[in-house]
């Protein structure tokens, strides 16, 4: 995704931005919007950064058994969010890691 599409990852959006997408849980995910719904149970280890600078992403597991995040990739702290709860992650370009809020 190009930096020119940064508004798709902003916390303030209009109806012209794409709506949330649902991705199947996997070790690596490449979000295309600020809010990503995750279906399935596989733990998320690596997020493909959609833009180059500091940004925040929101993930919400739609299944009761989503394993959440692990630290084997570019996520600093592991977590297991409850179903349909939002997990915010902020990207630090200096460390190339996502930090949970």
Query: In the predicted model, what is the mean pLDDT of residues 91-100?
Result: 97
Residue 6 has which token pair?
């940064």
Reported as a pLDDT band with limits 50, 70 and 90, residue 11 is confident
Which of 12-16, 55-59, 94-98 has the least mean pLDDT?
12-16
Is-contact 57 33, C-beta < 8 A? no
Per-domain boundaries in the chain: 22-100
The per-residue pLDDT for 39 is: 96
- Side-chain-side CA neighbours of 28 within 13 Å: the count stands at 5
């Amino acid at each position: 995704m190009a930096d020119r599409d940064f508004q798709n990852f902003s916390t303030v959006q209009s109806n012209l931005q794409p709506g949330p997408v649902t991705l199947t849980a996997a070790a690596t995910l490449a979000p295309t919007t600020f809010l990503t719904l995750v279906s399935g149970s596989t733990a998320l280890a690596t997020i493909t950064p959609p833009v180059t600078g500091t940004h925040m992403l929101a993930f919400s597991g739609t299944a009761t058994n989503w394993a959440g995040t692990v630290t084997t990739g570019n996520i600093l702290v592991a977590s297991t969010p409850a179903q349909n709860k939002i997990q915010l992650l902020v990207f630090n370009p200096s460390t190339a890691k996502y930090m949970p809020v």
